[in-house]
Amino acid sequence: MAPPLSPIPATPAPAPVAVGVGPVSFDEVVAVARHGAPVTLTDEALAAIDRARAVVEGLAAGPVPAYGISTGFGALATRHIPTEQRRQLQRSLVRSHAAGSGPEVEREVTRALMLLRLSTLATGRTGVRRQTARLLADLLAHGITPVVHEYGSLGCSGDLAPLSHCALALIGEGTVRDAAGTLMPAADALAAAGLEPVVLEEKEGLALINGTDGMLGMLVLAITDLRRLLRTADVAAAMSVEGQLGTDRVFAPELQAIRPHPGQAASAANLTAVLAGSGVVASHRGPDCNRVQDAYSLRCSPQVHGAARDTVEHAATVAGRELESAVDNPVVVVDEDGTGRVESNGNFHGAPVAYVLDFLAIVAADVASMSERRTDRFLDKARNHGLPPFLADDPGVDSGHMIAQYTQAAIVSELKRLAVPASVDSIPSSAMQEDHVSMGWSAARKLRRAVDGLTRVVAVEVLTAARALDLRAPLQPSPATGAVVRTLRDAGIAGPGPDRHLAPEIELAVALVDSGAVLDAVTTQIGDLA
C-alpha cells in the first residue's frame, strides 16, 4: 500500500485519463490513483451533465418539493427548504457530513475515490453543474488531494464522510495535500493552482457525497494487487516444491482437467512452467525416489491458489458492474422525449461491493496460511529432506530463518482476524431512516491491510526458498527460479552464511514482491504466467 504522504510521481508524466459517460477502466483507476495521471472531461460528458442540470433547475423552480433539491436529507427529508436557503442547505450538508476521524488514508485511495465520483457525475445522472465537475477534475489534474480519515463511513448511503471531505475542498474549506504532499488549507491550494472554489447550488452537495466510490476504489486497487500477488504466490510455491524435493507430476494438465476450475488449471500451469528445466526436480525423478505424496501445502497449491484466483475474478466482475453504475440518490432520469425527472432509489447501498471485499480478505488469509506452512517445512530438519535445521549456517550457534517464520505466523494470525466479515454487521443510523448499512468501507480498509500482510508472507517464503535452493548446490534450480534467486542476490540479499540482521533483508524481499520484480524475473525467462 502506498504511504499516506507519498508525493504524486513527477516523472514519467502519465497520459491524461478522459472521463466520459461510460465507465473508467481498472487501468485508468490505477493510473490516476497510483501514478498521478491527470483527468479531463469529454464533451459528451459535459453535454450529459448540462442535460441533467436543466432537469434539476426545472424542479428547483417548481412548487413541488423534490428530495435533495428543495428538502432536507435523511430523517430530515420532510422539511421543505425555501429558495433563499438552498445554497446554505448544500453547504451545511457537506460541512456536517465531513465528520471523519482517525488516521489519514492513503493518497491513492482518495484519488481513486475522487475519480470514481467524477465518473458518476459524468454520466449525467446527478444534476451537478459542469463547473463543479470540472473543478473536481482540476483537483486531480493538479495533484490536490483532500485529507480523508480512516473512520466515518458506514458504506450506506455510500461513503458519506470520506466523500464529504473531498467535497469540502471544492468549496475551499478543509485541509488538503498538494502534489508534493504538503499539508495546507484547501483555499490556499486552490489559489496556488489558479482555481476558484464553487458555491454549491441545488442538489450538488448531495451529488458529491452519495456514492460507493471509496470502497469501490479500494476494491479495484486490491484486485490489481492480488492478481500480481497470486501469480507471485505460484512462483513462491514452485520454489518451495523444488527446494523441498517435491514432485511436479501432480500439476499435470490432465489431472487438473478432472476438476475443471479455471483458476486451478492456470495455477498448475504456472507451477509446471516455473519448474521446467529444474536440475533439482530432475535429481529425484527416477525410480529410486521413495516419496509417494508431498504434503498438502505443496501438492494442493493449485487448488488453493486457483480458488483464490477465481474469487478475485468474481470480485472483478462485481467491480466492473459497479464501474458502469451511476450511484446517487436521487438520480436524474431523462426520457426519450427530452423531459426529465428525479427518482429516489437504493443504489447507494454498498452490499455488492462489501461482500466481495470480505471474500478477498478470506482469500488473502488462506493463501498466506498455505505460504507460511510451506516456509515452515523448510526449517524443520525432520521434514526438509537433508537441509540444515532452520537453514542455519551453524545450527545452534546460528538460528537461520527461525524467526522469519515467526514473523509470517504473526501476520497470518492477524490475517485470520481480518478475514472476519465486516458486511455481516449493521448499525442503524439517521434516526432509524438508514436502518441497514453495508460497512463496505470497513471491509475495504481491512482488505488493504490483508493485501499488505499477504505480500509480506509471500516475500518471506521467497526469501527462505531462495536460501534453500542455494543450499541444494551443486544441483541447479530451474531457469525461472534461478532468476528469482539472482534477483534477490542482486538486490543485496546475500546467500547462505552466518546469521546477520534479517529484518532489512525481509523488507527488501517485500519490496521486490510488491513492485513485481520477483514476477518479472520469472516472466523475463519463460514468458507471461497464466
- The full set of domain ranges for the chain reads 17-211, 219-326+358-526
What is the percent of the chain with per-residue pLDDT over 90, rounded to a whole number?
82
State residue 436's pLDDT score.
Answer: 83
Region 199-225: mean pLDDT is 96
State residue 7's pLDDT score.
Answer: 46
Q: Does residue 296 carry a catalytic annotation? A: no
H/E element, 321? helix 301-323
pTM for this entry: 0.94
Considering only CA atoms, give the Rg of the chain: 26
Is the predicted pLDDT of residue 84 greater than 60, yes or no?
yes
Region 134-148: mean pLDDT is 98
Region 487-507: mean pLDDT is 97
Region 230-246: mean pLDDT is 97
| C-alpha–C-alpha distance, residues 261 and 299, integer Å | 16
In this predicted model, which residue has the larger pLDDT, 292 or 81?
A: 81
| C-alpha–C-alpha distance, residues 174 and 186, integer Å | 6
Strands 39-41 and 17-19: parallel
Region 140-167: mean pLDDT is 94
Q: What is the DSSP letter of 12?
A: S
Cell numbers representing residue 44 in the block: 459528451
Q: Compute φ and ψ for 177, nearest 5 degrees.
A: -115, 140
State residue 12's pLDDT score.
Answer: 67
Could you tell me which CATH class the domain 219-326+358-526 is placed in? mainly alpha
Cell numbers representing residue 125 in the block: 445522472
Type of residue numbered 285: R
Between helix 160-170 and helix 107-121 the angle, nearest 10°, is 80
State residue 4's pLDDT score.
Answer: 45
Beta bridge partners of residue 434, listed in sequence order:
429
Secondary structure (3-state) at 450: helix
With cell 488469509, the residue in question is 365
Residue 250: count of CB within 10 angstroms of its CB: 19
Secondary structure (3-state) at 394: coil
CATH code that applies to domain 17-211: 1.10.275.10
Is the predicted pLDDT of residue 365 greater than 70, yes or no?
yes
Residue among 135, 107, 109 nearest 121 (CA): 135
